[in-house]
Amino acid sequence: MTTRVLSGLGLCLMLGGCAGPLDRAWDEAPFRSIQDRYALAQDRATADPGVGTPNAPAQIHALEQLSVNDAIRIAIANSPRLRRAGYRVDSATGRVTQAGLHPNPSLRFEGESLGAESGRGGETSYRIEQEIVLGSRLKHAREVADADRLTAQAQYLGEEFAVASRVTRAYHAALAARDRLARRQDLTDLAEELLRAATAQVNAGSATEQDRLRAEVVREQAQIELEAARLSADASRWALASAMGLEGAMLVPLSTEVQSLPDIPDKLRLIDAVLDSSSRSSVARIAVQRAQRAHRLARAQATPTLVASAGPRYSDTDNETTMDVGVGVEIPIFDRNQGAIRSAIAERLSAAESVNIVRLELIDEVTRAWSSYETARLTTARYRDHLLPKADRTLSLTRKAYERGKSDYLRLLDAQQVVVESQIAYIDALQRLHESAAELRSLAQTDAPWRESRPGDEPRAEVSP
């Protein structure tokens, strides 16, 4: 009896060995070790869901200055969206492994006439059954799952650039709000001077009460706009911290100058880059590959599955041991997987059309973003090269005329106010320029300077409690 049991278990282990996992390295660069790529902090969140990265400012080191690339690195290290995208890659990788596994064998025991009064039993048998998948179904299933993994990787890359775009927009909005607040303060100071000058002239009899009231109105408007600019600057610091995955207001000074202009290639080169490198283009092309692989899998699934069985049988009556062997296969008379095959063909055609749809959508989005970028670029160039120099020239001439006694102080203050208002309009145009440039870079997904982190430097930022 012991010999029969051992032989049955040995056969089980021998056949069960074919069901082991496949040893394959799924993640090629740049997606290898996704969790470690930017030192993601998912372990902390998993260990204690109540202590996530945004709620732990004590663990964030202070920087003397914060560049836009530093801000993007911090956002990538703290972004829950990017961590979720990384987990989806891991999940898809697990499905690839699972799709390549053979079915597990099954062990069956059968006994006849057990416990008979004569003391002699009937027959006992041990049988191992193994389902043998034919038609390269496992291979095709792995290929379909691998296409899903590639899709998850492309979406991960797209999320990285989406994070960078959000941070870039928030960063330059904070820069513009900072400079706009400074200019509004200048306007408020000028309005105060204008009111003092108007009051002095009214007291001297060289101006009317209407001039003083007008100066008071200008001062009140300047103070209202200054307070609004102060609130906007504070909100922009909170928005920047939120885009970086932190809670609180950003306290570290921003090092990038708002006047620094982005470098964007021409429209045709940009369209080519978007169609070639964009995650959405990649996802659409991978969808075509997946549909092709799914079609091959559906055709392979029409091949019937073979079931083989083998095991020892012991007859207590005849006192002999024999071997039972069996083979079974289904007959594909009614179900030849014809419906799934037809559906897979339709999915292939649909995926091919989706590629064209995505191409047209991306071209339209690039064209619109490029139009906004060019408008902002021309506007900033116009302010920088023409309007601001002319306003400065007017102020200089007015100041000289005032010094020679050929102009009054109110005219000089008006000229100074025109200069400051032109500077504010220039800052607004620069912000629109950087926002449209960030959108174009997010579409193209070719330039990623934040990946070039400094050796031994893991940027952190300080936030308010």
Q: Which domain holds residue 142?
A: 35-41+64-101+133-302+337-360
Q: Is residue 369 part of a domain?
A: no
Closest-CA residue to 40 (of 151, 158, 154, 163)? 163
Q: Given a cut of 60, is residue 57 above it in pLDDT?
A: no
Determine, yes or no, domain membership for 138: yes
pLDDT of amino acid 116:
58
Q: Residue 382 has what pLDDT?
A: 92
Centre a 10 Å sphere on the Cβ of residue 276 and count the other Cβ atoms it contains. 12
Provide φ and ψ at 61, rounded to 5°: -85, 155
Residue 426 tokens read as 């220039």
Identify the residue whose tokens are 């309007």.
Answer: 387
User: 121 lies in a domain?
Assistant: no
Alpha helix positions (H), 327-408: 338-382, 388-403
Query: In one letter, which amino acid is 361?
Result: E
Q: What is the dihedral of CA 129, 135, 141, 144, to 10 degrees?
A: 180
Which residues lie across from 132 on neighbouring strands? 306
Name the burial class of residue 384, with classes exposed (0-12), middle (13-18) and buried (19+) by CB atoms within 10 angstroms of its CB: middle
Cα separation, 432 vs 377, in Å, equals: 9
Residue 437 lies in a domain: no
Amino acid type, 314: Y
**Rounded mean pLDDT of the chain?**
79
Q: What angle do CA 350, 354, 358 make, to 5 degrees?
A: 175
Give CA 414 to chain center in angstroms.
Answer: 48
Q: What angle do CA 346, 349, 354 make, to 5 degrees?
A: 120
Q: Average pLDDT in the 180-187 region?
A: 90
Torsion region of 261: left, alpha or beta (phi above 0 gives left; psi -120 to 50 gives alpha): beta
Tally of domains in the chain = 1
**Model confidence pLDDT, tens digit, residues 309-329:** 998 988 777 778 888 899 998
pLDDT beyond 80 at 261: no
Q: What is the pLDDT of residues 108-162, one digit of tens each?
A: 988 776 655 555 667 888 899 999 988 889 999 999 999 999 999 999 989 999 9
Q: What's the confidence (pLDDT) of residue 58? A: 38
pLDDT of residue 161: 92
For the record, the structure tokens of 158 come out as 């797209």
**CATH number for the domain that contains residue 229:** 1.20.1600.10
Quote the tokens at residue 136. 């390269």
Distance (Å, whole) CA 351 – CA 289: 9
Q: How far apart are CA 110 and CA 4, in angstroms?
A: 13
Each residue's pLDDT tens digit, 358-379: 999 999 999 999 999 999 999 9
In a 13 Å sphere around the CA of 129, the CA atoms on its Cβ side amount to 13
CA pair distance 392, 380, nearest whole angstrom: 16
* Residue among 264, 293, 252, 256 nearest 62 (CA): 252
Any domain includes 209: yes
Query: What are residue 313's DSSP bridge partners?
Result: 125, 322
- d(C-alpha 170, C-alpha 164), whole Å: 10
pTM for the model: 0.74
Amino acid at residue number 201? Q
pLDDT band at 260 (very low <50, low <70, confident <90, very high): low
Element containing residue 129 per DSSP (H, E): strand 123-132
Reported as a pLDDT band with limits 50, 70 and 90, residue 402 is confident
93-105 pLDDT per residue, tens: 899 999 989 999 9
